[in-house]
């Protein structure tokens, strides 16, 4: 008998006695039913807006991302492709690539600058050496809710950042969401910084993330996302941190039995176009890409948030030992990480940090 198990595990035959077979089948169908239901991505919305007139030429856009096909990010990309192709009456074709097929975040950004790739949507974290103000997103616990993240990304701060990042051969046209990051590891449950002592934690290639885990007592290692699964599988590192949807879509739970819901950093994705590609497009198509990037960002954030809790539950159902910290336990992490703000305030700019903090205050009133 072939058994259907939740999507990211191989199916395999099983031998059983009749009664247990019946019961197991009943349990299994319930589980696979709920698993199938849970991993359903929200449907792609219809395309709104008229067909945009171009200059009669046809264009092919290659868009590469680092996450897998079952990520919220790729779902957003599918919507972007649908909008651009329909509203250009197929004069623009969007070729989508996932799982770093055409390179990881930094390789993709360099390819845009070289004009060998048209679009990508990296996390802001690996790009802080190019755009230091992006580091504000790496400060721990700065975005208490997704709504505050939206206010910052869609508000003056986020829009000004897109303008400031439209340089160095790049055009920045929108925001989507990687999400709130959670710690996983192969060793033991983590409920306090003391449990991190000496734990080898992979971080993004980002100085603040290194500072965060060093400050908490762990032993951090910067590494490209493209190398992470193998490094976890081979025990090169003990742990890593990413949103639940990435933990599942990249199968980290298969090599990481423990997780702690830390929500310690909110990471956005920034949608980038190669300036060379941009300059070849007529203005009407430039505006179409901007509109599509906005709609992709709104939809992708929705998908990320709808899937987040469902997938956490599914990971639990599949046996992952997830620690949900109490507010008191979170406060210990926040207190221990306060020095990170002192270290980085000047480099990032105190004014930007205070403006974002002010958004939280406004919201909490």
Cβ(143)–Cβ(268) below 8 Å: no
Applying CB under 6 A, the span of 34-42, 59-67, 278-286, 290-298 interacting with ligand KDG comes to 59-67
Can you tell me which of 67, 153, 270, 272 binds ligand KDG, judged by CB under 6 A? 67
Secondary structure, 3-state, 232-253: HHCCCCCEEEECHHHHHHCCHH
Shortest Cβ distance from residue 178 to ligand KDG (Å)?
5
Phi, psi dihedral angles at 52 (to 5 degrees): -100, 130
Beta bridge partners of 324: 261
Shortest Cβ distance from residue 117 to ligand KDG (Å)?
13
Can you tell me which of 225, 258, 285, 299 binds ligand KDG, judged by CB under 6 A? 225
Shortest Cβ distance from residue 65 to ligand KDG (Å)?
6
Residue 83 interacting with ligand KDG (CB under 6 A): no
CB of 206 or CB of 277, closer to ligand KDG: 206
Residue 260 interacting with ligand KDG (CB under 6 A): no
CB of 105 or CB of 359, closer to ligand KDG: 105
CA distance 25 to 18: 10
* Binding residues among 170-199 for ligand KDG as defined by CB under 6 A: 178
Applying CB under 6 A, the span of 44-52, 60-68, 317-325, 340-348 interacting with ligand KDG comes to 60-68
CB of 104 or CB of 359, closer to ligand KDG: 104
Task: List the 170-180 sheet strands across, edge first.
Answer: 92-97, 59-64, 119-120, 266-274, 170-180
Residue 105 interacting with ligand KDG (CB under 6 A): yes
Buried b (16+ CB within 10 A) or exposed e, 318-343: bebebbebeeebbebbeebbeebbee
From the number of C-beta atoms within 10 Å of its C-beta (0-12, 13-18, 19+), residue 13 rates as exposed
Residue 123 interacting with ligand KDG (CB under 6 A): yes
CA distance 321 to 269: 28
* Binding-residue total with ligand KDG (CB under 6 A): 12
Name the 3-class secondary structure at 17.
coil
Applying CB under 6 A, the span of 65-73, 131-139, 142-150, 314-322 interacting with ligand KDG comes to 65-73
Query: What is the binding site for ligand KDG (CB under 6 A)?
Result: 65-67, 105, 122-123, 178, 204, 225, 242, 246, 267
């Amino acid at each position: 008998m072939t058994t259907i198990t939740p999507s990211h595990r191989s199916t395999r035959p099983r031998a059983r006695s009749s009664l247990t077979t019946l019961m197991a089948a009943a349990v299994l169908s319930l589980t696979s039913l709920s698993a199938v239901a849970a991993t359903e991505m929200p449907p792609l919305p219809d395309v709104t807006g008229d067909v945009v007139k171009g200059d009669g030429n046809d264009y092919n856009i290659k868009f590469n991302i680092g996450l897998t096909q079952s990520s919220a990010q790729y779902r957003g990309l599918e919507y972007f492709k649908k909008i651009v192709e329909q509203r250009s009456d197929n004069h623009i074709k969007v070729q989508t690539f996932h799982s770093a097929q055409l390179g990881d975040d930094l390789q993709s950004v360099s390819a845009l600058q070289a004009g060998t790739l048209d679009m990508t949507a990296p996390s802001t974290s690996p790009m802080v050496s190019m755009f230091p103000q992006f580091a504000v997103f790496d400060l721990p616990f700065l975005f208490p809710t997704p709504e505050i993240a939206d206010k910052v990304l869609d508000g003056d701060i986020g829009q000004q950042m897109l303008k400031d990042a439209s340089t160095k051969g790049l055009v920045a046209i929108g925001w989507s969401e990687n999400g709130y990051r959670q710690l996983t590891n192969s060793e033991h449950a983590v409920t306090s910084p003391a449990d991190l002592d000496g734990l080898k934690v992979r971080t993004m290639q980002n100085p603040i993330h290194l500072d965060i885990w060093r400050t908490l007592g762990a032993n951090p290692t910067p590494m490209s996302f493209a190398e992470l699964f193998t490094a976890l599988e081979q025990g090169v590192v003990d742990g890593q941190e990413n949103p639940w949807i990435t933990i599942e879509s990249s199968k980290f739970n298969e090599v990481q039995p423990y997780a702690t819901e830390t929500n310690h950093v909110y990471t956005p994705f920034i949608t980038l176009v190669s300036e060379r590609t941009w300059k070849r497009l007529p203005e009407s198509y430039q505006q179409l890409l901007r509109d599509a990037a906005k709609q992709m960002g709104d939809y992708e954030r929705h998908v990320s948030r709808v899937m987040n809790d469902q997938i956490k539950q599914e990971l639990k159902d599949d046996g992952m030992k997830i620690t949900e910290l109490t507010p008191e336990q979170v406060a210990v992490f926040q207190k221990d990480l306060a020095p990170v703000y002192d270290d980085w305030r000047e480099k990032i700019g105190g004014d930007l940090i205070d403006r974002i903090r002010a958004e939280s205050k406004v919201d909490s009133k």
